[in-house]
Structure 1
Amino acid sequence: MPRLGLLILDVSLAGVGSLLALALRENFDLTRDRLLEFLPYFTATVAVAFLVFAIGGITRAIWRFSSQPEYLKITATLILVIIGAVLITFAYNRLDGVARSLPLIQCLVCVALLIGARVLHKIAHDGRQIRKASAGFLRHTDAEPVSTLLVVGISKLAETYLQAITELAPGRIVIAGVVGRTDRHVGRLVATHPVLGELRDIDDILNDLEVHGIAIDKIVVATSFDALTAVDRATLLTLERSRNITVQFLAEHLGLDLKPQATPYRSNCRSELSFEIPPLELREIGKRRYWKVKRAIDAIVAFAALVIFSPFIVIVAFVVAATVGFPVIFWQQRPGLGGTPFRLYKFRTMKAAHTFDGRRLSDDERLSSIGTLMRRVRMDEWPQLFNIMRGDMSIIGPRPLLPCDQSEAYRARLLVRPGLTGWAQVVGGRTISPEDKAALDVWYVRNASLRLDLEIAARTIPMVLFGERICIPAIERAWRDLSAGGVLKGTLAYKTENAL
């Protein structure tokens, strides 16, 4: 079933669960007046569920491959939905007609319906044991991925290989997805990894992954050579010759290749400059108590913002769906804290790259009118509040760059969580050079404090309303401080740009 169908089904189950909870609370003695009193709360529940389910991604996993971590995610997501519905209804009519025990009953019933449907579907079709996924642990490990793979083939062999990577190479190998030989399995999951498409479209799949910031190092064919058609073999051969990607057949490599390789976050950036924080200062930065306080503030502010702006977020989501289409959320893989990859979410502002007749559209043609406005006032970045809630990002911090723009020379900026807004944005903006941005980001890492974060937050408001302004003194101060602190390495064959 397409993702939109799964989303509608999950939202419908949440709606049915809400009505069933009301019936249980009233001992199935429902009157027309009672249902009318319940209508505002029911509407808020469905609206918030549509938004949170779409952004939270609980509809992406095919039910027959559901697992325990997904059930926990569903439970947490439903709790967030009910809290949001309660707050919205309280602001509307102070929860008139909603009993205090109803949200608790509603939560239990909705959890039972959404998880129960998946469990029954799984038992009926596969009877598999519930598997523990390691995706959550990979997000918190310090191990840096060294290879990003694409697996070709959907079979027991492919599933065994994926499970072996999960057990034996956590953090060393990242699976970008699975490619089938037909489109029959597209959209499903194999051992928690998505089926991205069919083999004949692998070139388009690789291009799409690059758009999302994912660079493939190796393609592993988890099927026999004889099972491939002549066209499949030619496709793989052409791919290996035209791209810097190694194609391996799993049958020829029974063990895992764990030799160190280039990090997937390789960059084409070249610079004579680098920023290297001295070891003693590095330890001092890591021990600052402010990081724990900052994380708590991030979680509280992000949750409050989601609750307060949830009606507007729902409206924007519907507008994007009407003007741009589904999905309403666009994601890119970015290096986060310590270089650990995470998915950064944004509202879509651009239409599909091709028309129905196959004509490729330019970026100007793809950018919708509402998308231009959203970008100007940063509305497209609202979904990153969920990244902040998850701990991928912070309210204040260096903006996460695309992997191709994250030079190893500027790796010091990855010592803190990336932010929704940052020092480089409020005193520099988009027009300053990458070197200036890196200098401002590293300066922030060394000087982060509650006072500085409050200043950045205060500067962000006029930046959004009136546009970016370059602050030359702040940029020059960053370069002076970094040079005096022994952080700046290499030849300073660079001069700060002058404002026009």
Structure 2
Amino acid sequence: MAAVSFILAMLFRAGDVWSPENTDALIVGTAIFAGLSALVFFSLSLHKSIWRWSSTADQMAVARAATLAVFLFVPTMFMIGRLEGIGRSVPLIQWFVLVTLLSGSRFFYRWYISRQGGRSTFRQRTPVLLLGTGEGAAIYLHALDAIPGSAFYAVGMLCDRGELMGRSLNGVPVLGSAEDLDHVLVDLETHGIFAERLIVTKPLESLPAGLISRLGGIARRHGVDIDTLPDLLSLRLGGGGVIASADEPMPIGAPRWLEIKRLLDIITSAGLLLFTAPIALLAAFMVLVEMGNPVLFRQVRPGHGLRPFTLLKFRSMRSPRAADGRLLSDAERTGMVGRFLRRTRFDEIPQLVNILKGDMSFIGPRPLLPRDLADLPDGGWERARLRPGLTGWAQVNGGHQLTNPDKMALDLWYTRHASPWLDMKIILMTTRMVIFGEQVNQAAIDHARAWLRNQGATYEENSELDSHAVI
């Protein structure tokens, strides 16, 4: 599809006027764009999505992959032939055609599969009403379609926005607002449909105060039970689980400058991926020679809002066991290449992909292991207010030389004081750290600890955590 998108873009742009330069650009550009697209698609794991269940997130991944592929293609062709034979509008047409092909093929496949399977019968199934027209409702309706023997079917939805009246989601109509529950139930009963359950698909904290109690009185009069989607799907855990219950505080939303920061992360990471490509290839070759496959180290860690993501790094250590089964020390596992990659921070180049995907930012608290977050008093919610960073306040004030309580104090201080000026300072301090090595800043540590004491919080009790756990 990538190759076809460039060919179609060239044909659309050139029209009836075709020259030998166009032919040369078409041949070379098609091969190069196909190769770059393959690299980008595999790097962003585009091939791993299941087309039958493609979601909005999958379509956004398609758009990101197409954008990065075209972004890398244009400067590559400029360096090869100064874009001779390629019209200025070709990259834009090329991007539009590629997104259309990638997204359209997924939509067509979903439509074809749905036509093959058909809908299951409503006979002997319990009618239910849904409160909410968002992502939760879409998930529940897809689940009903995916289970032919389901005991329920949705007869209608209640919305919280008037402009959705008369619309439908997955074929289920919006019958009224939440305040219209009594009238909706009466109308359904008039048509011989007796809804037995009202399923709340929206977060309870997003509903107006007192709404559930008012709906509960109406539901009792009609013999309707009220359930919530998290309870039906067993998503709520007691004792501060990763998925918060309705009365637990969620991470605070980002201010405007963090949205600008995310845009800068995308632009900068895309540019650095292109700039560091030769270094990355050399580093991958060195790792392959010294340690063999795999070249990349992958580890799942909690990220922004405690959502898990796969952290990427170049391997800097060999297998933890020798050929005879003996457990090796960290010094024995780290060879010359590994030490060089760690000292220069080249082992973290693959994390530019994490930043481009939105898993990480350039600046923020370093992502911890799940077992470390479980030992924190708040389960790690405070640190998860911001995206984890490639570098951060703890790294530039001592890094690996700090104890875990010191790192926690510095990270928590940063989450409450993050600003563009502090980020600029961290960038400058990171440059100094890479050149001169890590240096402990005791004044910054003392200041962060004093701030924590003023907030009524302390992380001293977690000093028993492994000193290598936060990396």
Q: Distance in 2 between matches of 1:361 and 1:84?
A: 43
Give the counterpart of 1:422 among 377, 388, 392: 392
Give the counterpart of 1:310 among 267, 270, 274: 274
**1:48–1:310 contact (8 Å) kept in structure 2:** no
**Superposed displacement of residue 287, structure 1:** 8.3
Q: Distance in 2 between matches of 1:474 and 1:439?
A: 10
- Over residues 207-256 of structure 1, what are the superposed CA-to-partner deviations in whole Å (9 max), with x where a residue is unaligned? xxxxxxxxxxxxxxxxxxxxxxxxxxxxxxxxxxxxxxxxxxxxxxxx75
**1:55–1:383 contact (8 Å) kept in structure 2:** no
Rg (Cα) greater in structure: 2
**Superposed displacement of residue 402, structure 1:** 0.7
Give the counterpart of 2:346 among 369, 379, 398: 379
Instruction: Output aligned runs, 1:93-492, within 5 Å.
Output: 94-115=82-103, 117-118=105-106, 127=115, 160=147, 257=234, 260-261=237-238, 291-313=255-277, 316-317=280-281, 320=284, 323=289, 329-349=296-316, 370-406=337-373, 407-409=375-377, 411=380, 412-483=382-453, 485-489=454-458
Q: Distance in 2 between matches of 1:81 and 1:493?
A: 45
Give the counterpart of 2:38 among 42, 50, 73: 50
Q: Percent identity?
A: 34
Structure 1 residues 308 and 69, CA gap change in structure 2 (3 angstroms): closer
**Corresponding residue number in structure 1 for 2:63:** 75
Structure 1 residues 264 and 48, CA gap change in structure 2 (3 angstroms): farther
Q: Distance in 2 between matches of 1:398 and 1:24?
A: 47
**Superposed displacement of residue 98, structure 1:** 1.6
**Superposed displacement of residue 441, structure 1:** 1.3
Greater relative contact order (Cα < 8 A, sep 6+): 1
Amino acid at match of 1:454: M
**2:409–2:459 contact (8 Å) kept in structure 1:** no
Q: Distance in 1 between matches of 2:351 and 2:428?
A: 19
**Superposed displacement of residue 358, structure 1:** 11
Q: Distance in 2 between matches of 1:73 and 1:491?
A: 41
Q: Distance in 2 between matches of 1:317 and 1:68?
A: 33
Q: Distance in 1 between matches of 2:91 and 2:117?
A: 32
Deviates more, 1:78-87 or 1:24-33: 24-33
Amino acid at match of 2:363: I
Deviates more, 1:113-122 or 1:296-305: 113-122
Amino acid at match of 1:36: D
Other structure's SS at 1:346 match = strand
Other structure's SS at 1:392 match = coil
TM-score (norm 1): 0.56
**Corresponding residue number in structure 2 for 1:141:** none
**Superposed displacement of residue 464, structure 1:** 1.9
TM-score (norm 2): 0.59
**Superposed displacement of residue 100, structure 1:** 1.5
- Over residues 72-112 of structure 1, what are the superposed CA-to-partner deviations in whole Å (9 max), with x where a residue is unaligned? 42133212321232244446655333202211332233334
Uncovered stretches (5+) of structure 1, i.e. residues with no partner: 1-12, 131-135, 139-155, 168-254, 267-281
Structure 1 residues 259 and 387, CA gap change in structure 2 (3 angstroms): closer
Equivalenced residues, count: 352
**2:280–2:349 contact (8 Å) kept in structure 1:** no
Uncovered stretches (5+) of structure 2, i.e. residues with no partner: 119-133, 137-142, 155-231, 244-248
Other structure's SS at 1:59 match = helix
Structure 1 residues 416 and 34, CA gap change in structure 2 (3 angstroms): closer
**Superposed displacement of residue 51, structure 1:** 3.5
**1:295–1:394 contact (8 Å) kept in structure 2:** no
Q: Distance in 2 between matches of 1:367 and 1:47?
A: 34
**Superposed displacement of residue 159, structure 1:** 6.2
